[in-house]
């Protein structure tokens, strides 16, 4: 089946690292994504990882994938107040013109100055 789960809330102090976790159930997922949504806005693609990779780093963002445990995490180094938002984990199946993306319920990140 298809189910993506995330914790609802995370609070960190400015300058600390944030780690947002996600678990998924579909082992046939091809890509896994992290999106950011600020209040009243659409979704911004932060980064994504192909399912045969273990890690991807992009500036302050590090994505870790444990395919055996179906666990995905997003680490934000040196978290800033501008990072306060809702972060969605998502998985996709299919390729090309046939793709279905399933989102988690989102983790609200609060950064305390």
Partner 1 sequence: DAGVTQSPTHLIKTRGQQVTLRCSPKSGHDTVSWYQQALGQGPQFIFQYYEEEERQRGNFPDRFSGHQFPNYSSELNVNALLLGDSALYLCASSLRVNEQFFGPGTRLTVL
Supply the minimum distance, in Å, between the C-beta of residue 88 and partner 1: 5
Q: Does 43 bind partner 1 (CB under 8 A)?
A: yes
DSSP per residue over 42-88, as a string? -EEEEEEEETT-SEEEETTEEEEEETTTTEEEEEESS--GGG-EEEE
| 44, 66, 81, 110: residue in contact with partner 1 (rule CB under 8 A) | 44
**Cα–Cα distance between 107 and 52 in angstroms, integer?**
25
Is 71 within 8 Å of 10 (Cβ atoms)?
no
Q: Which two tokens stand for residue 77?
A: 């180094």
Q: Which of residues 50-89 bind partner 1 (CB under 8 A)?
A: 88
Options 1, 39, 82, 97; binder of partner 1; rule CB under 8 A? 97
Please identify, using beta-carbon distances, which residue of 16 and 38 lies nearer to partner 1: 38
* Binding status of residue 25 toward partner 1 by CB under 8 A: no
CB hemisphere CA count around 44 (13 angstroms): 11
Contact between 102 and 2 under an 8 Å Cβ cutoff? The reply is yes
C-beta closer to partner 1: residue 15 or 94: 94
Query: Counting contacts by CB under 8 A, is residue 111 touching partner 1?
Result: no
Residues that bind partner 1 (CB under 8 A): 4, 30-31, 35, 41-45, 48, 88, 90, 92, 94-106
């Amino acid at each position: 089946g298809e189910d993506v789960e995330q914790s609802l809330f995370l609070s960190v102090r400015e300058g600390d690292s944030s780690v947002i976790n996600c678990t998924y159930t579909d082992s046939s997922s091809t890509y896994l994504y992290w999106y950011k949504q600020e209040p009243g806005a659409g979704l911004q693609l932060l980064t994504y990882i192909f399912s045969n990779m273990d890690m991807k780093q992009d500036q302050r963002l590090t994505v870790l994938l444990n395919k055996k445990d179906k666990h995905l995490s997003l680490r934000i180094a040196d978290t800033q107040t501008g990072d306060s938002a809702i972060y969605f984990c998502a998985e996709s199946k299919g390729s090309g013109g046939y793709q279905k993306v399933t989102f988690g319920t989102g983790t609200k990140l609060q950064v305390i100055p």
